[in-house]
């Protein structure tokens, strides 16, 4: 009886933890995959790397989930297409920012989008405190001190554009959450591909057909798009928008680590101090709960 009781009590705990585990795996996969993608920039440019990432992701997701096998309403299709459009524009702006900004800092700037979503959905003072804590950490990640650390203004603008589309991605992703995860992410990524792949093809041309680069592009697509966006759709179904936005604040820290380990992009000591603040905000948002009574 004790064993059965323990098993039954552990099942709800596992179910509750699953969305958060999915989100953690999504963030890690995204940062590692994006590091691979940035290594393609000298060979095919940022738009070409985006074309690989989104194009291959769409192909893999369509083959995996075969979205045509399930019926979808007109409203559901429109919701998924909106989600896919902002997904494509978010990817394009983010990769354009990465041309001149380190990975961790580009993610930090981009995070202004989901941080704004978190603030809009906040209902308790404690939630505002956690958002403020995450914002303090993100401020430390940005190189304010000294002209030698100044960021490229064009890169910053692309980062802010990516942040805008990231915020819309969260909102539109929630609105498309009634569509089965596999169908939503495969159709959404296909919509994104229709937007960004032609841009990459025009910019990179025949270089995209190199067999060696195709392999790197395929790995980038799997790690930075197909896997993380599928996991995020799982997370979005269960995690409230305010908590989702603050939890995503871990991503600049993971991105900074990935950039240092895989790209040699080392941040200043004060910026590494921000990692503790970002993680504290994320943990605090989980411990406090939704704020619903």
pLDDT tens for 129-143 read: 877 887 787 777 665
- What is the mean predicted confidence (pLDDT) over 21-29? 90
Query: What span, in angstroms and rounded, lies between the C-alpha atoms of 184 and 75?
Result: 12
The pLDDT of residue 271 is above 60: yes
Residue for token pair 């999504």: 26
Query: What span, in angstroms and rounded, lies between the C-alpha atoms of 150 and 71?
Result: 51
- What is the mean predicted confidence (pLDDT) over 244-249? 74
Query: What span, in angstroms and rounded, lies between the C-alpha atoms of 21 and 246?
Result: 15
When mean pLDDT is compared across 6-20, 50-64, 233-247, the lowest value belongs to 6-20
Is-contact 248 209, C-beta < 8 A? no
Secondary structure (DSSP) of 172-222: HHHHTTTS-HHHHHHHHHHHHHHHHHHHHHHHHGGGGG-HHHHHHHHHHHI
The pLDDT of residue 91 is above 90: yes
Give percent of the chain above pLDDT 90.
29
Query: What's the full length of the chain, in residues?
Result: 293
227-243 tens-digit pLDDT: 887 788 788 778 876 67
pLDDT given for residue 229 in this prediction:
77
Coil/strand/helix, residue 152:
coil
The residues spanned by each domain of the chain are: 21-288
pLDDT given for residue 42 in this prediction:
92
Global confidence as pTM: 0.80
């Amino acid at each position: 009886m004790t064993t059965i009781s323990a098993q039954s009590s552990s099942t709800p705990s596992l179910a509750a933890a699953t969305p958060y585990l999915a989100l953690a795996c999504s963030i890690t996969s995204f940062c590692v995959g994006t590091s691979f993608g940035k290594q393609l920039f000298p060979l095919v440019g940022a738009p070409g790397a985006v074309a690989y990432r989104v194009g291959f992701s769409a192909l893999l997701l369509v083959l995996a989930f075969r979205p045509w096998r399930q019926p979808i309403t007109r409203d559901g299709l429109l919701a998924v297409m909106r989600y896919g459009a902002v997904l494509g524009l978010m990817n394009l702006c983010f990769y354009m920012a990465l041309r001149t900004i380190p990975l961790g800092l580009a993610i930090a700037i981009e995070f202004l989008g989901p941080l704004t979503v978190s603030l809009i959905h906040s209902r308790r003072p404690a939630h505002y405190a956690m958002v403020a804590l995450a914002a303090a950490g993100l401020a430390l990640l940005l190189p304010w001190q000294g002209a030698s650390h100044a960021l490229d203004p064009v890169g910053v603008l692309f980062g802010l554009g990516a942040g805008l589309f990231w915020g819309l991605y969260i909102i539109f992703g929630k609105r498309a959450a009634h569509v089965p995860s596999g169908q939503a992410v495969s159709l959404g990524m296909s919509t994104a591909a229709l937007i960004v792949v032609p841009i990459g093809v025009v910019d990179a041309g025949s270089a995209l057909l190199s067999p060696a680069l195709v392999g790197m592009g395929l790995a980038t697509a799997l790690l930075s798009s197909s896997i993380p966006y599928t996991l995020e759709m799982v997370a979005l179904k269960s995690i409230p928008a305010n908590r989702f936005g603050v939890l995503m604040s871990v991503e600049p820290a993971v991105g900074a680590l990935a950039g240092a380990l895989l790209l040699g992009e080392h941040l200043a000591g004060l910026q590494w101090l921000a990692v503790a603040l970002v993680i504290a905000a994320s943990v605090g948002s989980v411990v406090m709960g939704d704020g619903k009574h």
